[in-house]
Chains A and B, each alone.
Chain A
């Protein structure tokens, strides 16, 4: 009863006719099939000298962190000397670096190693990647453990770095469409993380470093590359939960040495004791 009423509805008949008409036109003008992921056939041009891929497309959270360090206006004025602040859209400076330092447990120092070969489409040809394709998870000490290049990597002619010296060393160049000048930061030893006795400079003894063992244990830990756990713990806003186990006392062994005619007190042993644990959370 209801169906017959509907079928007799003049309005519905008009609606059906309109839909058929639209579908017909659609079929007429869109004979192609539609890809599931729009844009997947719009290829990036890789022939530029440096990286042409927008890492932030996938790593938006990292990009946001990089952008949060300093106001863009300050960076455009060349006034930001916050570590890495100019690398917000220049991920390749770190993640496609030519620098590669390897810690040697036998020498206790960082030693220069050949850099990775990344995949690249610079120029007319192409380079297949070897150790990494687009990017590597770098070690902070790849850059911060270098006293000087001395021609080992010839980073000044490395495609990702060429003509972009100012981003690390200071100076002038183009950044986000603006020609900016950053105060000079120097050349040799200018970003060396010295003071751990790891060979980052000629004078790096680290003999008084309070956190040296933390760095060595971080190198020995597989959670992150190399010493990154230690670097990141202090130098970034990464949350850190630390479980300390510390002594709250000392046991001192005191002996009185004596003959009939002479005596002296001596301490034969001093041993930390009364260990207690507590948690610190850097948030």
Chain B
């Protein structure tokens, strides 16, 4: 009984204390009257309070990982006036208040930009080659139209969609539409017919982490991520049976019985990859062999010497492109070029050496057909041996049908 009385007395005491101390009303949103001081130099409103995920992405990035949010999103090189409370006064924002979504080319423009990183060091953001030039550079850049269309798109500011696709872990899905096959007939190295047929719809998904703020290093950009049809054309193609691998896009395969691993220029075949290495060697470096000779030569000094790539580079327009050149076989093998077509003295016949055959293809047929026209004969699997050598090598009489990438199936009669 005594305990009960003490307990009741205790309850009364607690209630009295609560009543005495809690007569205030309580604000609905606690903290809304604790304003963040913004008078010190720089930004005191921590972007990562709401954007910690982006901070995590950036910490996993191979590039830009040392940059603060403000370095890009309050970049002062564009003339934007951001709101600021630095010092005792304040600056009202004009074009933006706290932050803007930058164009990648704001920093990577033709002059580049010096950016202060998190440690206070200045880092140079180099120009985006070609794309930072007026009109986004020359038409030789294979991806120029992509950049132009990205610029016209309202999905992201400026050309960013194009930049993100290659330079970040943003996932890319592509829906391609192009011709199914071509057919042509040659008589004495002259076209007597040409046709293009059907439509190939090719969808690929280059799955990545999806993080727009995870930038990949330049040597990690995988051309075959978007161009898987070409990878498959070079590696898988169409299995036509024994010794008939219809691998197209470039002469990656050799007909062991007739085509040597060396060639009339006196060096190992430039495009060839041994079958066992094909799946791994068909990569961005292999793409650069043709689509950016200058870059490949600088990264492979030995090949530069072996293949006279300094001269070949001069035959191309690779110095004026962003990463890849839109080219034809004639870019390197046209008449007057370092690697102009010559005959193999080990074989009979004159082929189309010394003629304007390759130039004619480049000049009079759409670029998209050029490679397949050449591959109609230069795919190893379409080397018809039962019909005699002279049909092709001397007379130049062929009747070809060849499928586009990735199947590449071809008949040559």
- State the A residues within 8 Å of B (CB): 57-62, 65-66, 68-70, 80-85, 170, 182-186, 189-196, 200-201, 203-212, 224, 232-240, 242, 244, 248-256, 258-268, 270-274, 276, 278, 280, 282
Cα–Cα, bound, A239→B28 (Å): 12
Q: Which residues of B contact A80 (CB under 8 A)?
A: 37
Q: Which of B47-103 contact A (CB under 8 A)?
A: 49-53, 73, 80-83, 85, 87-90, 92-101
Decide: B31 and A194 in contact? CB cutoff 8 A. no
Decide: A263 and B36 in contact? CB cutoff 8 A. no
Q: Indicate if B366 sits at the interface (CB-CB under 8 A).
A: yes
- State the B residues within 8 Å of A (CB): 23-27, 29-39, 45, 49-53, 73, 80-83, 85, 87-90, 92-101, 145-146, 149-150, 153, 155, 161, 164-165, 170-179, 194, 196, 208-212, 364-369
Decide: B150 and A238 in contact? CB cutoff 8 A. no
Known interface pairs A208-B100, A251-B175; A262-B366 also in contact (CB < 8 Å)? yes
Cα–Cα, bound, A235→B39 (Å): 12
Which residue of the partner chain, among A189, A209, A249, A256, contacts B95 with CB atoms under 8 Å?
A209
Decide: A69 and B35 in contact? CB cutoff 8 A. yes
Decide: A282 and B50 in contact? CB cutoff 8 A. yes
Decide: A237 and B34 in contact? CB cutoff 8 A. yes
Decide: B176 and A256 in contact? CB cutoff 8 A. yes
Shortest Cβ gap from B166 to chain A (Å): 11
Cα–Cα, bound, A113→B177 (Å): 58
Shortest Cβ gap from B292 to chain A (Å): 17
Which residue of the partner chain, among A196, A232, A242, A273, contacts B32 with CB atoms under 8 Å?
A232
Decide: B96 and A234 in contact? CB cutoff 8 A. no
Q: Which residues of A contact B173 (CB under 8 A)?
A: 249-252, 273-274
Q: How many A-B residue pairs have CB under 8 A?
A: 252
Decide: A260 and B365 in contact? CB cutoff 8 A. yes
Chain A residue at minimal CB-CB distance from B139: A264
Cα–Cα, bound, A260→B206 (Å): 31
Chain B residue at minimal CB-CB distance from A209: B96
CB-based closest 6 A-B pairs? A195-B93, A248-B210, A194-B92, A249-B171, A195-B97, A263-B366
Decide: B94 and A203 in contact? CB cutoff 8 A. yes
Cα–Cα, bound, A95→B176 (Å): 61
Known interface pairs A195-B81, A195-B82, A258-B368; A238-B39 also in contact (CB < 8 Å)? no
Shortest Cβ gap from A89 to chain B (Å): 13
Decide: A236 and B94 in contact? CB cutoff 8 A. no
Q: Which residues of A contact B164 (CB under 8 A)?
A: 250
Known interface pairs A58-B24, A210-B101, A249-B171; A255-B177 also in contact (CB < 8 Å)? yes
Decide: A280 and B45 in contact? CB cutoff 8 A. no
Cα–Cα, bound, A274→B212 (Å): 12
Decide: A258 and B93 in contact? CB cutoff 8 A. no
Q: Which residues of B contact A59 (CB under 8 A)?
A: 24-25, 27
Decide: A210 and B99 in contact? CB cutoff 8 A. yes
Q: Which residues of A contact B23 (CB under 8 A)?
A: 58
Decide: B33 and A65 in contact? CB cutoff 8 A. yes
Decide: A65 and B367 in contact? CB cutoff 8 A. no
Cα–Cα, bound, A131→B25 (Å): 22
- 5 CB < 8 A contacts A-B: A65-B30, A195-B93, A238-B31, A248-B211, A258-B179
Chain A residue at minimal CB-CB distance from B173: A251
Chain B residue at minimal CB-CB distance from A266: B145
Cα–Cα, bound, A267→B171 (Å): 17
Decide: A83 and B96 in contact? CB cutoff 8 A. no
